[in-house]
């Protein structure tokens, strides 16, 4: 009696179709990553819209954090429920939250005053600051090539900011926020040794809601129904985008997904042109090009040397989601 043919195995030990499945998962991960970046940038555009409508940064922070609890509840549920919120480092969460809220408030002010494409381009300096800060704060060894990339990247920052007596103060505020964002991500990396990503996001959101809520008697402006919908959407969009990027991280390698965060510049430029009829300046495009190139080079070197697995939180949109991926 003839035995049924056993499944053929490829020379590398994989069954036929495995490579295609892997490619499909990577394609799905990239699509999710691009979608999450589009959502985050859309959220930034909404923040700019409501800020220009007269709503203060503390009030926008309040809605951003309070309304984010709905999607965050989904994230907590997916990562083990209430048990995932247990922590032995309440002070670590508080410090991370205060630093992160400083960065967020600075970004919101920058979105209001600057073209969205310029503000987001300045935020691309975050990997440079994180690389530099990782030496004293995380004990990472940074080679000469990455230090050169950091210095070249700062040239790109100077091109965009254009320091002078008549420079736009919001550019400095945005750069200030970028430094604090880098510090916040260093704190996230330290917390990730014992804390879940859901707990880091949850306690940051709680702290943000409480602190901005305390300021509401002095900064509250009663919104119209339309503006209320815009304000509520900020938190919802941000929370949904975080869930999407978490899904992307789970189906595709971080090194492949990270470069697609730079598509934020394309989305921001589109929003600037369509909504505000603003075209990016030559300085913005040149500086952003330098920052993107140096950021990708730093990513390449970290992937090549294996330091990305040890110190993964380099890029902003995939910041907290990386933690759970690296624990799998």
SS3 72: helix
Let me know: does 202 contact 72? Beta carbons within 8 Å. Answer: yes
Give the other-Cβ count within 10 Å of 8's Cβ.
7
Pure H helices in 53-168? 57-66, 69-78, 90-113, 116-123, 126-138, 144-161
CA distance 45 to 126: 20
Let me know: does 120 contact 317? Beta carbons within 8 Å. Answer: no
Q: On the CB side of 136, how many CA atoms lie within 13 Å of its CA?
A: 4
The owner of tokens 């922590």 is 87
Calculate the CA 323 to chain-centre distance: 13
| Ordered per-residue pLDDT tens for the chain, 328 residues | 444 444 454 444 455 455 655 666 788 888 999 999 999 999 999 999 999 999 999 999 999 999 999 888 888 888 888 888 988 899 999 999 999 999 999 999 999 999 999 999 999 999 889 888 888 888 888 888 889 999 999 999 999 988 776 778 999 999 999 999 999 989 988 888 888 888 888 999 999 999 999 999 999 999 999 999 999 999 999 888 888 887 888 888 877 888 888 999 999 999 999 999 999 999 999 999 999 999 888 887 777 665 544 444 334 444 444 444 444 4
Task: Please give the backbone phi and psi of residue 3, each rounded to the nearest 5 degrees, phi first.
Answer: -80, 145
SS3 318: coil
What pTM value is reported for the model?
0.84
Rg (CA), the chain: 21
CA distance 48 to 61: 12
∠ CA 286-289-293, nearest 5°, is 145
The owner of tokens 């048990």 is 83
For the record, the structure tokens of 4 come out as 């049924």
What pLDDT was estimated at residue 309? Answer: 44
> What contacts 24+ positions apart, CB below 8 Å, involve 138-142?
138/186, 138/189, 138/190, 138/311, 140/307, 140/310, 140/311
What pLDDT was estimated at residue 134? Answer: 86
């Amino acid at each position: 009696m003839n035995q049924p043919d056993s499944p053929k195995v490829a020379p590398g030990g994989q069954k036929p179709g495995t490579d295609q499945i892997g490619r499909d998962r990577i394609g799905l991960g990239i699509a999710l990553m691009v979608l999450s970046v589009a959502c985050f940038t859309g959220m930034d555009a909404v923040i700019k819209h409501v800020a220009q409508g007269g709503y203060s940064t503390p009030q926008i922070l309040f809605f951003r954090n309070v309304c984010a609890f709905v999607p965050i509840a989904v994230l907590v549920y997916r990562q083990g429920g209430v048990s995932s919120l247990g922590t032995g480092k309440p002070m670590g969460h508080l410090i991370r939250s205060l630093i992160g809220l400083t960065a967020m408030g600075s970004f919101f002010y920058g979105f209001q005053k600057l073209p969205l494409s310029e503000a987001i381009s300045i935020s691309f300096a975050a990997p440079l600051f994180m690389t530099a800060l990782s030496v004293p704060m995380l004990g990472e060894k940074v080679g000469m090539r990455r230090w050169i990339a950091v210095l070249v990247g700062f040239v790109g920052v100077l091109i965009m900011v254009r320091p002078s007596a008549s420079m736009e103060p919001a550019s400095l505020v945005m750069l200030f926020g970028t430094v604090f964002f880098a510090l916040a991500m260093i704190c996230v990396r330290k917390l990730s040794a014992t804390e879940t990503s859901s707990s880091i996001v949850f306690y940051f959101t709680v702290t943000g809601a409480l602190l901005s809520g305390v300021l509401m008697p002095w900064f509250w402006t009663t919104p119209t129904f339309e503006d209320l919908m815009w304000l509520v959407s900020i938190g919802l969009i941000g929370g949904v985008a975080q869930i999407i990027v978490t899904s992307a991280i789970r189906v595709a390698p971080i090194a492949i997904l990270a470069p697609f965060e730079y598509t934020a510049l394309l989305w921001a430029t589109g929003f600037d042109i369509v909504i505000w009829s603003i075209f990016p300046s030559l300085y913005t495009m040149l500086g952003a090009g330098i920052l993107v190139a140096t950021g990708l080079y730093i990513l390449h070197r970290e992937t090549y040397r294996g330091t990305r697995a040890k110190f993964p939180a380099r890029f902003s949109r995939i910041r907290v989601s990386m933690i759970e991926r690296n624990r799998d």
